[in-house]
Structure 1
Amino acid sequence: MNAIHWPEGYLPGLTDNFASNEMIVAGLSAADIWPLLSNATQWPGYYKNSANIRFYDNKGPVLEAGMAFYFETFGFPVEARCVEYVEPGNGNPGRVAWHGWAGEEGTSNRLDVHHAWLVEDLPQGRVRILTQETQKGHPAKELAETRPNPMINGHQDWLDGLVSAARKSQQNPDHN
């Protein structure tokens, strides 16, 4: 199976916090998942922990490499830039990742994250959805020590909602 591409400074285990969530489900494909993930305006419809998504430079709603956007999650106002965007196809996984940040640089409330997704078709009609996030900064240290872990639980909610929305779209293709 494929792995996330990590930029320098964000390698898991070398940051202040790391969350990894994965689902492998039958009956869905990367083509079912990708439109719901790549179109950021879809997120609040299936993931309650995302809100107020905005795009800059007349871009959006579908993410693309280099694109700047804003959203709110886990109580943080996140400015973000899409740093990787590859649609799934021809046996290759879909990849989307963004660098996100909240708070003023150089302050104790600064949070920097690299949030990456990998969506790949597997044999026997299965799809694998992997989301991983590394975080740096004092808020990341606090999140890493919190139990239950809000990042693991929140990202699981995102995966669960994504799969549920894809199944609903599959059953009602005219209501996408």
Structure 2
Amino acid sequence: MHAIHWPEGYVPGFTDNFCSNEVIVAGLTAAEVWPFLATPSHWPTYYANSANVRFHGGGPVLAAGDRFYFETFGFPVEAQCNEFVPPADGQPGRVAWHGWAGEPGADDRLDVHHAWLVEDLSGGRVRIFTQETQQGRPAAELARAKPNPMINGHQDWLDGLVAATRQAKGS
């Protein structure tokens, strides 16, 4: 199975917060899942913790370099897509963005790298894997929270993504 590509400054273990979630499900393909992840306007339809998605040019499907905005976990997030590779025969789909909230240097500044892999596995299964690292005081506070809101929120995102794909497929 494949792994996330981490940019400098966002490697897990060297950040203020890290979360990792994964599902492996049968009966879906990476190609079927991909449009629901690659099109941010779809997110609020299956993930209640995202809202008010809009692009600053580009869209509606993400592309490397695209700037976009959405709200999640109570944060207004500006983001830039820094990796976008649709799934292809034998290769996972990869999408990642750098997101930020607050002014640089401010006490409430939050910087994140959120990455996803969507890959076909043997036996008609798909793996949907997401990890996020975070820097800043809000990230450190989230890391101490029990239950962990990032782990739980991202699990909701994964579960919603699978449900939306199944519904669209009619299964």
Tell me what 1:23 maps to.
23
Letter in 1 for 2:142: L
Q: Percent identity?
A: 71
How far residue 38 of structure 1 moved from its aligned partner, in angstroms, is 0.1
**Deviation of the 1:32 alpha carbon:** 1.0
Aligned residues: 171
Q: Match of 2:53? A: 53
Match for 1:158: what amino acid? W
Q: What amino acid is aligned across from residue 49 of structure 2 in structure 1?
A: N
Q: Distance in 1 between matches of 2:56 and 2:5?
A: 25
Q: Distance in 1 between matches of 2:88 and 2:54?
A: 28
Letter in 2 for 1:45: T
Deviations 1:63-121 (A, max 9, x none): 00000000000000000000000000121000000000000100110000000000000
Cα-to-partner distance string for 1:36-60 (whole Å, 9 max, x where unaligned) = 0000000000000000001012x11
Q: Does 1:40 align with 2:33?
A: no
Equivalent-residue separation in structure 2 for 1:90 and 1:34 (angstroms): 14
Task: Supply the distance in 2 between the matched residues of 1:31 and 1:170 (Cα, whole angstroms).
Answer: 12
Aligned residue for 1:157, secondary structure, equals helix
State the TM-score, normalizing by the size of structure 1: 0.96
Match of 2:65 in 1: 66
2:82 corresponds to: 83
- Give the distance between the partners of 1:20 and 1:123, measured in 2 at CA: 22
TM-score by length of 2: 0.99
Q: Distance in 2 between matches of 1:169 and 1:118?
A: 20
* DSSP 3-state at the match of 2:12: coil
Residue 131 of structure 1 corresponds to 130
- Give the residue type in structure 1 aligned to 2:154: H
Structure 2 runs not aligned, ≥5 long: none
Q: What's the offset of the Cα at 1:61?
A: 1.1
State the one-letter code of the partner of 1:10.
Y
Moved >3 Å (runs of 4+): none
Q: What residue in structure 1 maps to residue 147 of structure 2?
A: 148
Structure 1 residue 14 corresponds to structure 2 residue 28: no
